[in-house]
A and B are shown apart, each in its own frame.
Chain A
Amino acid sequence: MAASLGRMPQERTTANRADASTDTTGVALPNEPAPRNRLLDSLEPGPLRDELMRGEAPASTRAALVEPNVPAVAHRLRFTGDGREYFRIWIVNLLLTLGTFGVYGAWAKVRKLRYFRQNTLLDGHAFDFHARPLPMLFGRIAALLLLVTYLVAIDVSLVGTLAVMVLLAALGPWLLLQAHRFRLRNTSWRGLRFGFEARTSDAYRAVLPPLGVWFAGVLLTQALGRTPRTGTWTSLVGLAFPWIHHRLKAFQHGHATYGDRRFDFAPALGAFYAIYLLAGFLGLATAAVALLVASQIVATIAGKPVDKTGELFRALPVIAVVVAASAVVTHGYIVARLQKLAWAQTSLAGVSFATEIAAWPLIRLYAKNAFLTLVTAGFYWPFAAVAVARYRIEAFSVGAQGSLSALAASTSSSGNRGATGDAAVEVFGVEVGL
């Protein structure tokens, strides 16, 4: 499946394979053992050779034995977060955030990001998050004002809507650029900052076409009013969504930097469409099955068959179950498949990325989390967050020729930018995370 989707450049093929052989330490090795074996075979039988065969030797030792142009070692990310510890952090920060009418939220957010970054280890070293809470607070206030302006203006009139659109078109790309810069520049590993090297014009080129399509949808809805045709038109605009997502992902991954190295993203638009298409089918199928089961249950309780579907939809719990089931399946599928695809298409100066994240385990995890969070009135949430982070992070591996310290490079010095973009992106609900 994975191999059939998307264009896969030659040098990344090994990282893409979901079924790459996994050795006992959990380090994925490429499925083409030939170069490794040649060297291994040339070794004298002995403890080192045995260790290497079993995969127990340190990654660097193994890497040193591999021929230079072979992507040899996959460094697994490790996550050391703990549900109980995060629960304590979460509840104290939640209380403080609510008690201060949201002001403390900026501090809580920074702490949360630090918790997850610092507990993520690559090659034995943790990530760090450097943003300070106060700029984030100002960013949040600015973003909230922007949101209120948007909501008020879009309701008032066509002129108001147009004015907001012009404002969003003028500000939106710049805000997204700032958001990416803020997130990445404030993230570090081995004392080196990540970064986002894009010109302002790059941001406008990347973001304006998707904004245009979205605005066309809003304007069409306003112009046509409430006619049956509106649905058709808006769903046509919805067809552009995978294209929008792909474009934003390419912008995000293609301009990221680490030290003085630059990330690269190989486009895979067709694969994005394939994933969304399948997710749509899956969502519909799940909704149909959930509806069928719900109607059986309702009929059993009511003691008579349910003859109208519309009747069922008046029952709030039925709607909730159908929506939740459909959302969990669709979301889990899209997240897993897109993560896998997007990272397979991403590289960083001789370093490749791969994730063994899979749709079904993620869907099961989401379903379990949703259920337990619901029955515990939300108190399970921190445990759920840690479980999802563990699964997603530990499925991730970074493939390099030998040692990852090859990434040791000189930094491009760069100052801190404002947090407004970051908060705005958060408030407007654009997904930019890892």
Chain B
Amino acid sequence: MSATAGIGVPDGDRSAPPVDVAATERWPATRFDGRSGAGTPVMVLLEGTNLCIEEGGRTERWPVAQTVIRESFEHAPTMVHLPDGATLEVRDPRRTLPAALRGAGRSESLVVRMQRRWPAVLLATVALVAGLSWTYAVGLPAFADRIAQWMPYRVEAGVGAPLLKSLDYYVFRPSALPRDRREAIARMFEEAARRSAPDVPVRLEFRGGDANALALPGGVIVLLDELTEVAQDDDQLLGILAHELGHVVHRHPMRQVTQAIGLFAIAGVLWGDVSAIAANATAILGAMHYSRGFEHEADAFALALLQREGRSALALDAVFARLAERVQSEGGALPEFLSTHPETDERRERLRARGAGATRARPAGALD
């Protein structure tokens, strides 16, 4: 044990409680001069706005304003740094130092006072939960929407182009569709797009791959070959492409990127200390929920487009049914609650209802 082993509350303090605590209270401390590790036992007291250090018979005085006093924690010694490079390690088990320092003109910050009081902590908890809920439900989506509206398509294309490039490199193959088939699909899609979304620059790309279609930032829609086999007719194919066009029209890719960045940043602050896995999982779950909203928006756009084009509004539901069947036959059934896409049935239900309504609402001759 070091030379400081004998430090404790002096007998005088224990036996006779002082009359005026603020004026006479002394705190045992160890003084380190900053040049050697050997400590000296001292007593610390406050005299007006001065911090006094009693060592043996000598008393050393420093204006409190010139010292650096660390935030005090419940069970830890309070660290005081003096202008001459010395450190005082003050023992304050009864936590009377902060109040005494207030009297000497050194009050604690609002944050420190909040940290100490349970009501303030409770308020902070409520504010945190409310703020996070609002940000997730309203703030972040609205912000992402703003960003997307404000960002020109050409800037967005700057994000989409390298993305397509790396997808081409890692995932896609060149399309194996005959040229005239590709041209026919492109013509059908472009005409429909011109009528439903005249101001939106959009480009259809063909690639080889699994039954899927996707919209990239910058208005690029990628159609993968196998989807043309799953779709039974042009109505169904157009339904899928219209759905992707809906994503482009509503700026979903850009909004998704912005929302994802926001979610990862927030989750990083919330969970970064805990683990990167927890932070990423939270962000991914949040993003999945957002994307469900996007799917509904894109579905609504696709239904409207199919209607305007005089095509069957039930086609979208039909092609989703075929896709779902394909997934099932390949992967086998899983309990609903464990599936990564639990919303498929609920979404199809919605599409069927609205698609049927739309078809019925039209004059009889319009179907042909």
Contacts and interface: CB of A to CB of B under 8 A. Distances in A.
Given A98-B128, A429-B276, A114 B87 contact: no
A119 B335 CA distance: 50
B136 to A, nearest CB: 12
A126 B35 contact: no
Given A99-B131, A118-B73, A311 B4 contact: no
Interface in A317-350: 317-318, 320, 323-324, 327
A156 B88 CA distance: 55
Interface stretch (B98-106, B111-119, B144-152): B111-119
A91 B37 contact: no
B32 A381 contact: no
A82 to B, nearest CB: 6
Contact of B274 (A82, A126, A381): A381
A225 B169 contact: yes
A405 B3 contact: yes
A65 interface: no
A405 B77 contact: no
Given A82-B74, A91-B124, A381-B274, A307 B332 contact: yes
Interface string A180-208: 00000000111110000000000000000
A98 B131 contact: yes
B75 A409 contact: no
Interface in A114-134: 114-115, 118-119, 123-126, 128
Interface in A389-434: 403-405, 407-411, 429
A51 interface: no
Given A123-B1, A125-B89, A89 B115 contact: yes
Contacts of A111: 71
A317 B338 contact: yes
Contacts of B79: 118, 126, 128
A323 B4 CA distance: 50
B132 interface: yes
Q: Which of B34, B75, B77, B338 has the most CB atoms of chain A within a 10 A radius of its CB?
A: B338
A314 interface: yes
B38 A408 contact: yes
A403 B265 CA distance: 48
B340 A316 contact: yes
B74 A102 contact: no
Nearest to A307: B332
A13 interface: no
B33 interface: yes
A115 B125 contact: no
A191 B39 contact: yes
Contact of B331 (A61, A155, A314): A314
A125 B30 contact: yes
B176 interface: no
Contacts of B338: 298, 314-318
A191 B34 contact: yes
A314 B128 contact: no
A311 B331 contact: yes
A234 interface: no
A302 interface: yes
Contacts of B2: 60, 123-125, 403-405, 408
Nearest to B1: A60
Most buried by A among B37, B39, B111: B37
B322 interface: no
A269 interface: no
Given A92-B114, A125-B30, A316-B340, A114 B277 contact: no
A270 interface: no
Contacts of A316: 338, 340
A128 B266 CA distance: 30
Given A191-B32, A314-B331, A92 B39 contact: no
Contacts of B353: none
A381 B118 CA distance: 18
B340 A192 contact: no
A91 B266 CA distance: 14
Nearest to B266: A98
Interface in A275-325: 298, 301-302, 307-308, 310-311, 314-318, 320, 323-324
Interface string B121-135: 100110110011000
A159 B338 CA distance: 43
A327 B335 contact: no
A99 B35 CA distance: 42
A393 B294 CA distance: 49
Contact of B118 (A88, A96, A124): A88
Contacts of B278: 373
Contacts of A124: 1-2, 4-5
Contacts of A115: 73, 76
Looking at B36, B116, B125, B271, which has the most chain A CB atoms within 10 Å of its CB? Answer: B36
Contacts of B162: 155-156
B339 interface: yes
B344 to A, nearest CB: 13
Interface string A338-369: 00000000000000000000000000000000
Given A80-B76, A88-B116, A408 B37 contact: yes
B137 interface: no
Contacts of B270: 94, 98, 378
A58 interface: yes
B281 interface: yes
A126 B37 contact: no
B267 to A, nearest CB: 10
Interface string A60-98: 110000000000000000001110010111011111111
A91 B131 contact: no
A59 B1 contact: yes
A99 B39 CA distance: 42
B334 A302 contact: yes
B154 interface: no
Contacts of A327: 275, 277
B289 to A, nearest CB: 13
Contacts of B35: 410-411
Nearest to B68: A130
A202 B285 CA distance: 44
Contacts of A229: none
Contacts of B265: 102
Contact of A114 (B70, B77, B131): B70
Interface of B: 1-5, 30, 32-39, 70-71, 73-77, 79, 86-87, 89, 111, 114-116, 118, 120-121, 124-125, 127-128, 131-132, 162, 166, 169-171, 265-266, 269-271, 273-278, 281, 331-335, 338-340
Given A81-B76, A302-B334, A308-B331, 6 more contacts: A92-B120, A125-B39, A128-B70, A314-B331, A314-B340, A315-B340
| 10 residue pairs, one from A and one from B, having the closest CB atoms | A191-B32, A60-B1, A408-B37, A80-B75, A315-B338, A405-B2, A408-B38, A191-B87, A118-B76, A190-B37
13 contacts: A60-B1, A91-B121, A92-B121, A92-B124, A94-B270, A118-B76, A119-B73, A190-B38, A308-B332, A315-B338, A378-B274, A404-B1, A408-B37
